[in-house]
Amino acid sequence: MGRAFEFRKARKLKRWGNMAKTFTRLGKQIAIAVAEGGPDPDNNAHLRAIIATCRHENMPKDNIDRAIKNAIGKDKSAWKSMTYEGYGPHGIAVFVDTLTDNTTRTVADVRSIFNKFSGTLGTMGSLAYLFDHYAMFSFKKPEGIDMDEMVLDLIDYGVSDDFDEEYDEDKDETLITIYGDPKSFALIQKYLEDHNYEITTAEFTYVPNDLKEVTDEQRETIDKMVERLEEFDDVQNVYTNMK
């Protein structure tokens, strides 16, 4: 559980930024899900998964309902999911996931931060070998769960036996996080729902396969770069291979 857990724990400290930005980004994801599969969560697994994340992030029900209503009838082609990648300071690899209605604006914003921190924005796919792509699900740990049995059930969906278990003091709950084949996202979600696991997060993620050591001073600079990237509304997540 070491590598994935260490990465996820570090990522959690920086994730989303403030609450307003969290709700803005989740609202974009709702818009895409509604455009793809309609406004009824019962008939739209993607939307259902995002709503679960919204609830866990304490997004008010009125905000969720309004985001769904505003998305009805809109064309999903207005939004594009783009990943930008390159090297930040001290040779750290950086992945930037975005959801945007203006790629020209977004790439200019991302490039400006790379330039500011003496980084280099690369071509799409150039650093893919440094990260593993996963479908990631977190759910509240039920009593008596047998993770070995669960992983065995999900082995055909490419779910790894490298899972995380973490106690959330703020919510007084223990969360289990599993990682699987991105192509099996819908199948994994269905398994969890059919077995009545309470999903708190369902998303795609990147996990570095080669963590790089940095000094405290270097970490401070890289953290500043990540924070600046996360200030842009188009940015959904930022990943690095910094240990």
* CB crowding 31-64: b at 16 or more within 10 Å, else e: bbbbbebebebeebbbbbbbbbbbebbebeeeeb
**Each residue of 107-124: pLDDT tens digit?**
999 999 999 999 999 998
Q: Does 9 or 173 have the greater pLDDT score? A: 173
One domain for residues 53 and 149: no
Q: How many C-beta atoms surround the C-beta of residue 160 within 10 A?
A: 17
d(Cα 112, Cα 120) in Å, to the nearest integer?
10
Q: What percent of the chain has pLDDT over 70?
A: 92
User: Phi/psi of residue 61, each to 5°?
Assistant: -60, -40
Q: Is the pLDDT of residue 164 over 70?
A: yes
Average pLDDT over residues 165-184: 91
One domain for residues 140 and 203: yes
Into how many domains does the chain fold?
3
d(Cα 151, Cα 73) in Å, to the nearest integer?
39
d(Cα 106, Cα 43) in Å, to the nearest integer?
32
One domain for residues 157 and 204: yes
**Each residue of 62-92: pLDDT tens digit?**
999 999 999 887 776 778 889 999 999 999 9
One domain for residues 33 and 148: no
We report the CATH number of the domain holding residue 176 as 3.30.70.980
Going by their DSSP bridges, the two strands 199-208 and 131-140 should be labelled as antiparallel
Q: Which domain holds residue 186?
A: 130-208
Does pTM top 0.85 for this prediction? no
One domain for residues 200 and 179: yes
